[in-house]
Structure 1
């Protein structure tokens, strides 16, 4: 069990001015971790979860910047910069960065999403000071040299080509564009060949300076950590780099607002020579801050979240029309998407889409049974706990919660929110979400007559 507290301590300078504030957000008991947050001068936040029973630590730095912060000409800049921060600082070459973590058996990586970027290292608890030093050096002291920009451009273009060679991955980018159009959320995180080729070192340096200010950063660590020591080490690393900035700066607030998405029955087809047709049929979903997201999670689980889900049973088990079929939700700060994915032979694409559309319509009009809802709640509760059984997942929860919600929710609280979902709430969400006219994205080798019939699916 984890209890929530709001104990706060403030450290002051000799002049009496507060320079740091520490809060105990969640008090861990019975194996759950204690979560603390310290806000340093300059607006840098440090959030840790202490688990004395493990011997590893995952340390990460989250930046409040993603591909939705890019202009059309900067599309791909966030991801490009993610690569470049591994290329060297004044203190370390690219080889020095990777060799330092490899030498202690650690793992280091990064990822870019539409609303945030994360850099992290997983090491033994005794090697945490090294991980802090290396990752902080990368975030505060990257050189972004012109030669590195040119060299990494080829790597990123290969990554784009690799994604385009995987239609099961690419179709989700296509669906985002189908639903959101040529907007920051509708464009691919990686950028395009044209936008990546057009990015210059100077543009990337300006992007780096603007978005990697301490007020936009959250430092996280989960595992066998001492919060006060982590704060001291992080503060020292940022101060040595001259990166803490104004002492009166405050952290940026989580993104907010609302955005309406209209699903107009649009159909996008990329006709490619693939063995399978890859489809996503979907409609507007919910923002991640929507109070109904818990009911939406239960609905998604029952509809297409496991082997007992309706879509899996109808499409794969009963008819054998697809190997992979599932539903998913994508929640952003101001809007969301709901989609059903399936991969099947091109000559069966209309059968698969008809079944999926029929199931969506049926659940929208008649709802799920009480048994389906109870099973989905149990499945969702179990997967929530099992998904947090390593320090990497815990670090991810800390960073995303701080950036996206500005607060930390304990596992017990999450489980209680899921358990409190009622059948009526799930049915109401099903009517609201699944009752909308769907749109469709398809990648595959469809014949002209097959392509001509796609409009019937969303009619």
Structure 2
């Protein structure tokens, strides 16, 4: 039978929640002293594991004077601790053939490493040291300021990145979700070391920390390693402490009216995105949205690909996308095309969305879209990194962990009528359009 792991805090720290998964894997969740949450998925037969340390803070949590601090910390935690230099951290993973990296989002930050199962204790110790004891050295901060500015410049040279960044700003407006995850060049240049330090001390605490691991990992051993490493890092772990509450959701917001924005760049091709707000990350209809997205712009057989590329030859790349946050989400249709055909392509994308709202999908298209999602879900779970990420997002975002069979069942339960109804909501919502390319006045 499909199983669901309800990720609610047990009656007391240290209590376990356990649920079986596909292929003999098992997920366990423990709340350690201090409110630290540890989730593991033991995958029999694997000699590798991916370990991640998640902090429930993202770019949307930055306050005035601290803008850019979240992304800054993603870089600076690799630049040294009280016990390790930046070189020590790099050598620790290189010496065992491991990989270490980090990612910043709008609502969380993750530091992770993929190593052999025998090297998991080392990975836990190094990552915990980074999370608890980062020096944020002033000289290193200034060096990294230049690195981040180069990263932002690189992204700004990619017109498709610019289009997506500007689209988020157009949809969410002057709100924390509308700010760039990486910060703006102005914010990165101006944020002082003290502000980054304050952001670090405020948000990097035991009750906000979630440690997840998947692969050849032993849950009890990992819990002991995490507790010891955090204690060595100087964190106080009171036995009665409880995890921080999950980010509160709410009703889906919407822009008062659609925004049209043109960014002028000397490119050969124009990039255009049209769309607006959508479902939040925990909405029960997120599986309906996945099917809609697959049918509309999720693959070579999708409506956008077939109509715009295959039949008309107007674009090389065209697709749809969706992302969810605590109280709202974003849905968009993208294409890259000749600047002179932007209006035509934009109209065609809107027509396809409206057509989904006006008439139900056929049985064959529905089955194909569901099959695409089911196959992609299973294939995506074939590596430890994907499973580690699934645990972190389940804990921080969804509040439940669906096993693969339950996820597949929810996808297969989607009906053509549900897709049509949701398409109607999206088609009738305020619509924003962002164009990036060599446009004149």
User: Which range, TM-score by smaller chain?
Assistant: over 0.9
Q: CA deviation at 1:117?
A: 0.5
Give me the whole-angstrom Cα distance separating, in 2, the residues matched to 1:139 and 1:326: 37
The CA deviation at 1:9 is 13
The question of 1:378 aligning with 2:378 is answered no
SS in 1 for 2:52: strand
1:261 to 254, 257, 260: 254
Two-structure CA RMSD over aligned residues (Å) = 1.9
Task: Give the Å deviation of 1:7.
Answer: 13
Task: Say whether the 8 Å CA contact 1:44–1:244 is kept in structure 2.
Answer: no
TM-superposition CA deviations, 1:325-380 (whole Å, max 9, x none): 00000111100111001111111212211211211222222243232212111111
1:21 maps onto 2:15 in alignment? yes
Structure-2 separation of matches of 1:82 and 1:108: 12
Structure-2 separation of matches of 1:425 and 1:227: 40
Give the alignment partner of residue 51 of structure 1, picking from 40, 43, 46: 43
Mapped partners of 2:70, 2:5: distance in 1: 36
Structure 1 residue corresponding to 2:172, chosen from 180, 190, 202: 180
Q: Which residue of the partner structure matches residue 56 of structure 2? A: 64
d(CA) in 1 for partners of 2:106, 2:7: 34
Contact 2:6 2:399 in 1 (8 A): no
Whether the aligned pair in 1 keeps the contact of 2:4 and 2:400 (CA below 8 Å) is no
Q: Which residue of 2 aligns with 1:275?
A: 268
Following superposition, the deviation at residue 263 of structure 1 comes to 5.7
> Contact 1:62 / 1:116 at 8 angstroms: preserved in 2?
yes
Alpha-carbon distance in structure 2 between the residues aligned to 1:300 and 1:10: 36
- Structure 1: distance between partners of 2:76 and 2:410: 40
Q: Which secondary structure does the structure 2 equivalent of 1:408 belong to?
A: strand
**2:346 aligned with 1:348:** no
In structure 2, the partner of 1:433 is: 426
Partner of 1:108: 100
- The alpha-carbon distance between structure 1 residues 439 and 229, as it changes in their structure 2 partners (threshold 3 A), is same
Alignment of 1:24-35 (within 5 A): 24=18, 26-28=19-21, 31-35=23-27
User: 420-429 or 153-162: which moved more?
Assistant: 420-429
**Match of residue 96, structure 1, among 84, 88, 92:** 88
Q: 4+ residue stretches of structure 1 with deviation over 3 A?
A: 1-11
Answer yes or no: is the 8 Å Cα contact 2:254–2:430 preserved in 1. no
TM-superposed deviation, 1:23: 1.8
1:136 maps to: 128
8 A Cα contact 1:9 1:22, kept in partner: no
Q: Does 1:418 align with 2:411?
A: yes
Q: Cα deviation per residue 1:298-336 (whole Å; 9 max; x = unaligned)?
A: 011100000000000001001111111000001111001
Deviation by residue 1:229-286 (Cα, 9 ceiling, x = unmatched): 0001111101122214433221112212324212623101111111111111002211
Q: Does 1:121 align with 2:113?
A: yes
What TM-score do the two structures reach when normalised by structure 1? 0.92
Normalising by the residue count of structure 2, what TM-score does the alignment of the two structures yield? Answer: 0.96
- Return the alpha-carbon distance in structure 1 between the equivalents of residues 66 and 421 of structure 2: 40
Task: Quickly say closer, same or farther: Cα 1:92–1:371, change in 2 above 3 A.
Answer: same
1:400 aligned to 2:393? yes
- The 2-side partners of 1:3 and 1:195 are apart by 45
Secondary structure of 1:42 counterpart: helix
